Structure 1
Amino acid sequence: MSFAMGSSGRWLAACVMLWSCQAMAQTTAPVAPQTSAASAATAQEIPFAPAHDTIITTQSAPNAWGGERTGNEPTLSDRVVSYTIDADLDAAKHAVTGTEHMTWRNRSDREVHSVYFHLYLNAFQNEGSTFFTERKVLTAHGSSRGNAELEKGQWGWVRLQSVQQNGTPVTWSFVHPDGGPSTDETVVRIDLAQPVPAGGTLALDIDFLSQLPRVVERTGWWGDFNLVGQWFPKIGVLELPGERGATEVRWNVHEFHFESEFYADFGLYDVHLTVPSDYTVGAVGKLQGTPEQKNGKTTYHFVQGDVHDFAWVAAKGFKTMDGTYEGPGSPKVAVRVIYPAEYEASAAPTLKSTIDALGYFSRTLGAYPYETVTAVIPPYNADEAGGMEYPTFFTSEGYKVVEPDTAYQMLSDFVNIHEFGHGYFYGILASNEFEEPILDEGLNEYWDNRMLRERKQDLVLATPFTKSLGITPRISGFAFERATATLFHPADPLAQNSWDRLSGTSYGTVYSRTATAMHDLEERLGRPALEKAFKLYYQRWHFRHPSVADFRAALIDSSGNAKDVDAIFNEYVYGTAFIDDKVADIDSYEVQPQAGVTWKDGKQTEVDAEELDKQIDKQRSDWEKAHKDAKPGAPGPFPWHSTVTVTRDGASAPELLRVTFEDGTHEDVTWNDDRRWARFEFVKPSKVVSAELDPDQHDLLDRGRLNNSQTTEPDGAASRRWTADAAALMQSISALLTTL
């Protein structure tokens, strides 16, 4: 998902909802859902993955998901499932009639009597879904996307019309693996007529009807635009012991939570799409042959193997722009942008940034393995369909004007890079977005910012209006991530799942706080070492399903630096720690001869204080006569003893302390231990006039950087700079919001 986020009548509404559900069940489900004691007992044979205790600290077994892919296998992934789907779009009703033939391989060592499917569109059928009930709570305590209000005729759902196993009708019933409301219908159990033996294959034929909602989040319609995502019955994942923390065979099939995304097995998709002939179509995968026209409709045939989802777009009056990418190890990649005429200005920038991202991700992680990439720019009023990823297919954002060196160009580039990047972290690595959004949203956000840094591309906050005033504020990508990472009060560990969050804002920090934590880990390990570790992570886990623990193991194995990796993971990935180091005091005094008694060679000598004062005065006077041209701050007749005190309110982090002396010289010392405070002493010709922790800003996790430095004399330059920058930033944001 893109980085952009974000009673009275209840009884009557509940009655209407209940009546609607009953009516729809009577009219759209010839084989009604059933529940029996026998089927309930069968369902308990294989348990669900935990609903809440989802943080994984034990790495997967070496043979998880069939073991590391070497490239010598007949297919890129170990294909567990295949879907052959025929879909027909009723453009007037925004409804899709579908037939699905699904085959699924039982990888476990036991018979499977029931299987579980996601019916994601049912999240949008009424306010009783897990999605909507969670939305009420999370949006009340923070911002998020997905806040569109659905009106009459705008709800969406998916109905199973019939399900057959080898020609025998089977029954189904709705279940709630995460303990969600009984009115949620996003997970369905299908009780089989014949069990699937260990290692055996299941074939199901499913007729279904999908009603798209008015665009509310990720999927839906607006006008003649139809973004068809999460639209077909999709089988859950059967995990085996040693895979992603599993200790027994289990079904990982979570309800569609408000903040969650998706998780599925790799497989083959063979899909025919029939739409009105005047609609533009794009989809996951590669178009096969020439589309066939008949009776005012056109059928398109798309095929893609080694992916775990399928989405498509059908939009009237949309245009296309094409390009190609060719790089080492990749096939020739056809890149297409599908866009409305109103956002023509965004087409070329989207094409360019997508091709650029293909090159960067291929070079830094692994060669792009597919033959297509399709980017879709939704029309005005369908923004919630933008900023979303599917394998080989993503949605972006459109602008009527995309001038260079403005916020519109920056937003266009960043969203395109981010959504394409998901093709690696969500698509090829296929992490579980339900349980571990850090591995997708977080790591992708970090890698996107590395690409921007390599391109020397800051986040520009200027609009054409502010540029006309000579105001072009900008901020580096990582500085922006730090500013939005809520470092002062992190509510949840980064490794937490997507739904057990304090708020939508807390979920949002998965993006920014992960990017910040990975930036700081990069600073500790070194950029080359960190990039090498990510390449190892990708090599081990591409076309498999890694966990956070697997990612941690790859970092340690590659870098050999368990100390720094564990520090980041224990405190930020698995914890809610913060850094807050500060310069507390600077104290200096001249090192002058001392009064009192001393012993040397057995003889006692006493220095009288009054005589000593005269001696010091004479020594100072003689020095001043001899150095009439000495500049202020130059070394004097006596050295200086300076003490810099630093204190720590949060987790320990390796710090560099830069101490500057009055003569303009400076000295760097390291503070790399667990002490809550430390004092550093200096005897130099000049006194200390300033001290700064982390002057090169390696530790962006420090929540209060304004206390990282101190001077002995008041200096208004910093406050004037911050005030000017803040004023320019606010002016630009105000202008940007006005012109959007």
Structure 2
Amino acid sequence: MTSKIRIQRWAVGLALASTCVLVATAQVKTAAPVTAPIADVVVDDSAVDDIGFAPANGTAVTVPSAENAWGGARTGTEATLSDRVVTYKIQATLDPKKHTIDGKQQLTWRNRSDRPVKAVYLHLYLNAFEGPGSTFNTEMRNNRFGFRSGVQVEEGGFGYSRLQRVAQNGAKVPWKYVQPDGGPSTDRTVVRLDLPEAVAPGGETTIDMDFFNQLPRVSARTGYYGTFHLVGQWFPKIGVLELPGERGATAPRWNVHEFHLHSEFFADYGLYDVSLTVPKDYTVGATGEEQGAPVEKNGMVTRRFVQGDVHDFAWTADNRYAKPLDGVYNGANGPVKVRVLYHPEYANNAEPVLKATIDSLTYFSKTLGDYPYKTVTAVVPPYNADEAGGMEYPTFFTASSYKDVREGRLERYLLDFVTIHEFGHGYFYGIIGSNEFEEPWLDEGLNEYWDHRQLVAAKQHATAQTAFTRLIGFDIGLGEFEQQRLGAMLSKPADPLGNTSWDRMSSGSYGTVYSRTATMMHDIEQQVGKDALERAFKLYYARWKFRHPSSADFREALAEGTGQRALIEKTFAEQVYGTRKVDDSIAEFSSDEILPQPGIVEYKGKPVEITQEQIDKAVDGVREKWKKAHPKAKENEGAASMGAFPYATRIVVRRDGAVVANTVLVRFEDGTSRTLRMSDTGDKRWARWRLVTRSKAVSVELDPERRVFLDRDKIDDSRTLEADGSASRRWSADLAALFQSFLALLVSV
């Protein structure tokens, strides 16, 4: 899912992606759809039932879902992988010259609630691209939000979707555009259907509809460029009726948000049976498995694709695709057919994408759970269609494309990463069914984290480091998660991770959904251990696959799986539900000899004053004797010798943010060291130690094992008594990583 035109989305947070503002006065010149006039559709508002909407700006869910939510956990003994709610039978014909789609859809929907439903709601996502009045474009313009690569829609490049006919059991169904989130009245991405016949509790209804789409010039995950067509968010999709005990709902409610700028999608699981008609020289790739042989008629070919237990369907068609590159992953559920579609100019991208996809199938199946479907289709977008890249749908995703992807080059690493990332969404967005509208961190963030774990496990980051070192001319040593923290807005996090995708201060703040989540999960893993963390994720997958978990449901699985409930709840309170920064720093560090002090002492029962002059003479004598006794002792620049007197080392750590478990490593001149531990309980703002040793301390370092990446500034984590270039080297590394992030964004656009 994503605003991801490319890679490491933390680049969005770092570079605050360029603002793209649509020209509100642009003259829209597109082919007029053949559609029923809106005036002919009469809506009786009194017929609408009392089922409300999910909150427009809700926060992350804190109450776990009921055990029987979404039909209960899937055991594998059921007839279907998911508790199917909806069935789509769609016939669609593409006109590749006008870039239009004529569609007929039969939608069968099951009412899971305990009350009659008189009105249902559909998404018409393509209407986000019809002009400046949509919620999507209004947010981009009014909030000055940047989006992906910032491609602006030009004259003739707008898109839209229109209903032409809607009927229930032969009876005409009136409809009305609505704005559940209070967006502009000109937004037409959600439509209400007022059914002539209410759907009884537990009952089903079938709705037939004709629709027409004008695809936009590809600019936001969908559209065309030349003969290339990526068709996503294209069919009228019914909203989700959530029940009490599901994702925080206390009464039946429609989860059917407008198409916001940074939001993506949420839908019920069901069965898709889609027939696609295109010119016979066009290659088609789509969600699901192709059924039977293509049917040719009048220069057009119809291909039928079927896939159950998914919650979306996307496809592509082009007459410039080269011969597809096919491969097979042999998994626990049988062979998975992997297909890569690409254009001749990017033929060298096909093999890396195939390999990365199969590698991802292996890694995700091993660390989360077995892949349940029979196909995966990956699309390498053509030149000048970058906005089609970096997007995921069930069993179908788009990667990126680069000119030179030889081993050892940065572009190869980026291509691998995007492929892994988009495939990974097939788990967190697809199989687990996270709500990308309301809790995007459960998909974008957790997926980002798991993708980088795969790269670390495969040691692929070394390739990127070598390539980047060659590019900038000097060596840096940043790991996957050290990069992530740089775009995580750690100094002043503006929004809790669990906020909705659109209720955010800025595009940069939305970008932290990726990087700050990955950083937070890195720190959790460092504290609970790799095995416990993976055990928790496997539990999460097993419990919530083919359902729709909330933040609270993930929290419970993580707490149970790791056995560290206090840590998990504390971290969620501070990062998922709150905006507590982490900021530990070395405030004071000194190491001085402990010498006698002037004053009154008792000597033979009488008070005697010891003067500074007497002390200095005595100290010189002791030093001389010690030096003679230790002729090979290292000279200490700050004293006559080392070791004649003990040293007192004083360390103060300042805590300006959330309390985290941390360690302090003190190194001494004789090569020894001592580790001090800071508690993760209480709310004390500082910690102080005084160490008495025979050797002088030379340095002190917070978090020596690099476990706390949420810390806003690692530069203030260490001090030395003498001048040391290590801090400046760390600062240079941070700058280099910042440049790397920015470069990644540039490469993507």
Alignment of 1:432-447 (within 5 A): 432-447=435-450
Taking the aligned partners of 2:296 and 2:384, their CA distance within structure 1 comes to 31
Cα distance change of structure 1 residues 734 and 387 upon mapping to structure 2, 3 Å threshold: closer
Are residues 1:100 and 2:105 paired?
yes
Letter in 1 for 2:610: D
Per-residue CA distance 1:497-517 (angstroms, 9 max, x = gap): 011111111111100011011
Equivalent residue for 1:234?
237
Cα distance change of structure 1 residues 465 and 497 upon mapping to structure 2, 3 Å threshold: closer
Per-residue CA distance 1:604-639 (angstroms, 9 max, x = gap): 675734544433322211111111211235851211
Q: Is the 1:487–1:702 contact (alpha carbons within 8 Å) kept by the matching residues of 2?
A: yes
Taking the aligned partners of 2:721 and 2:572, their CA distance within structure 1 comes to 37
Cα distance change of structure 1 residues 165 and 724 upon mapping to structure 2, 3 Å threshold: closer
Are residues 1:658 and 2:670 paired?
no
Following TM superposition, by how much is the alpha carbon of 1:471 offset from its aligned partner in structure 2, in angstroms?
5.3
Cα distance change of structure 1 residues 731 and 568 upon mapping to structure 2, 3 Å threshold: closer
Q: Match for 2:634 among 631, 636, 647?
A: 631
Q: Is the 1:344–1:400 contact (alpha carbons within 8 Å) kept by the matching residues of 2?
A: no
Q: Is the 2:22–2:141 contact (alpha carbons within 8 Å) kept by the matching residues of 1?
A: no
Per-residue CA distance 1:410-468 (angstroms, 9 max, x = gap): 10010000000000000001111000000000110011111111112227667989748
Equivalent residue for 1:323?
327
Taking the aligned partners of 1:637 and 1:576, their CA distance within structure 2 comes to 51
Gaps of 5+ in 2: none
Following TM superposition, by how much is the alpha carbon of 1:531 offset from its aligned partner in structure 2, in angstroms?
1.1
Are residues 1:265 and 2:268 paired?
yes
Per-residue CA distance 1:639-663 (angstroms, 9 max, x = gap): 1111111111111111110001121
Equivalent residue for 2:707?
698
Q: Match for 1:645 among 625, 642, 652?
A: 652
Taking the aligned partners of 1:146 and 1:725, their CA distance within structure 2 comes to 24
Farther-moved stretch of structure 1 (27-36 vs 173-182): 27-36
Taking the aligned partners of 1:631 and 1:440, their CA distance within structure 2 comes to 57
Letter in 1 for 2:428: F
Letter in 2 for 1:567: K
Alignment of 1:591-740 (within 5 A): 591-593=594-596, 596=599, 606=608, 608-609=610-611, 611-633=614-636, 635-672=642-679, 673=681, 674-720=683-729, 722-723=731-732, 726=735, 730=739
Equivalent residue for 1:181?
184
Q: Match for 2:87 among 63, 82, 88?
A: 82
Taking the aligned partners of 1:12 and 1:304, their CA distance within structure 2 comes to 40
Cα distance change of structure 1 residues 489 and 283 upon mapping to structure 2, 3 Å threshold: same
Per-residue CA distance 1:545-597 (angstroms, 9 max, x = gap): 00001111111122222221122111111111111111111122223345555
Are residues 1:225 and 2:228 paired?
yes
Equivalent residue for 1:136?
141
Aligned identity (percent) is 55
Cα distance change of structure 1 residues 301 and 564 upon mapping to structure 2, 3 Å threshold: same
Letter in 2 for 1:696: E
Q: Is the 1:406–1:462 contact (alpha carbons within 8 Å) kept by the matching residues of 2?
A: no
Q: Supply the RMSD in Å over aligned alpha carbons.
A: 2.6
TM-score by length of 1: 0.93
Taking the aligned partners of 2:49 and 2:337, their CA distance within structure 1 comes to 47
Farther-moved stretch of structure 1 (276-285 vs 471-480): 471-480
Taking the aligned partners of 2:337 and 2:92, their CA distance within structure 1 comes to 24
Following TM superposition, by how much is the alpha carbon of 1:720 offset from its aligned partner in structure 2, in angstroms?
4.9
Following TM superposition, by how much is the alpha carbon of 1:209 offset from its aligned partner in structure 2, in angstroms?
0.8
TM-score by length of 2: 0.92
Taking the aligned partners of 1:130 and 1:735, their CA distance within structure 2 comes to 29
Q: Is the 1:590–1:639 contact (alpha carbons within 8 Å) kept by the matching residues of 2?
A: yes
Are residues 1:123 and 2:113 paired?
no
Farther-moved stretch of structure 1 (611-620 vs 700-709): 611-620
Cα distance change of structure 1 residues 472 and 638 upon mapping to structure 2, 3 Å threshold: closer
Letter in 1 for 2:325: M
Taking the aligned partners of 2:51 and 2:747, their CA distance within structure 1 comes to 55
- How many residues align? The count is 727
Following TM superposition, by how much is the alpha carbon of 1:489 offset from its aligned partner in structure 2, in angstroms?
1.9
Equivalent residue for 1:511?
514
Taking the aligned partners of 1:732 and 1:110, their CA distance within structure 2 comes to 52
Q: Is the 1:407–1:459 contact (alpha carbons within 8 Å) kept by the matching residues of 2?
A: no
Cα distance change of structure 1 residues 717 and 541 upon mapping to structure 2, 3 Å threshold: closer
Classify the secondary structure of the residue corresponding to 2:527.
Answer: helix
Q: Is the 1:240–1:246 contact (alpha carbons within 8 Å) kept by the matching residues of 2?
A: yes
Cα distance change of structure 1 residues 396 and 692 upon mapping to structure 2, 3 Å threshold: same
Equivalent residue for 2:72?
67
Taking the aligned partners of 1:49 and 1:728, their CA distance within structure 2 comes to 40
Q: Is the 1:80–1:267 contact (alpha carbons within 8 Å) kept by the matching residues of 2?
A: yes
Classify the secondary structure of the residue corresponding to 1:199.
Answer: coil
Letter in 2 for 1:608: I
Q: Is the 1:403–1:464 contact (alpha carbons within 8 Å) kept by the matching residues of 2?
A: no
Following TM superposition, by how much is the alpha carbon of 1:29 offset from its aligned partner in structure 2, in angstroms?
1.7
Equivalent residue for 2:342?
339
Taking the aligned partners of 1:409 and 1:226, their CA distance within structure 2 comes to 25
Taking the aligned partners of 1:154 and 1:310, their CA distance within structure 2 comes to 23
Equivalent residue for 2:494?
491
Letter in 2 for 1:708: D
Q: Is the 1:586–1:688 contact (alpha carbons within 8 Å) kept by the matching residues of 2?
A: no
Classify the secondary structure of the residue corresponding to 1:288.
Answer: strand
Cα distance change of structure 1 residues 713 and 244 upon mapping to structure 2, 3 Å threshold: same
Are residues 1:521 and 2:524 paired?
yes
Taking the aligned partners of 1:466 and 1:205, their CA distance within structure 2 comes to 59
Q: Is the 1:461–1:473 contact (alpha carbons within 8 Å) kept by the matching residues of 2?
A: no
Following TM superposition, by how much is the alpha carbon of 1:721 offset from its aligned partner in structure 2, in angstroms?
6.4
Alignment of 1:191-230 (within 5 A): 191-230=194-233
Taking the aligned partners of 2:195 and 2:472, their CA distance within structure 1 comes to 69
Cα distance change of structure 1 residues 724 and 172 upon mapping to structure 2, 3 Å threshold: closer
Classify the secondary structure of the residue corresponding to 1:291.
Answer: strand
Per-residue CA distance 1:356-415 (angstroms, 9 max, x = gap): 000000000000000000000111111111100000000011112102122101100100
Classify the secondary structure of the residue corresponding to 2:292.
Answer: coil
Cα distance change of structure 1 residues 736 and 46 upon mapping to structure 2, 3 Å threshold: closer
Cα distance change of structure 1 residues 473 and 42 upon mapping to structure 2, 3 Å threshold: farther
Gaps of 5+ in 1: none
Letter in 2 for 1:29: A
Letter in 1 for 2:725: G
Q: Is the 2:408–2:467 contact (alpha carbons within 8 Å) kept by the matching residues of 1?
A: no
Cα distance change of structure 1 residues 240 and 373 upon mapping to structure 2, 3 Å threshold: same
Following TM superposition, by how much is the alpha carbon of 1:155 offset from its aligned partner in structure 2, in angstroms?
1.2
Per-residue CA distance 1:77-103 (angstroms, 9 max, x = gap): 000000011111111111111111110
Q: Is the 2:715–2:731 contact (alpha carbons within 8 Å) kept by the matching residues of 1?
A: no
Following TM superposition, by how much is the alpha carbon of 1:151 offset from its aligned partner in structure 2, in angstroms?
2.4
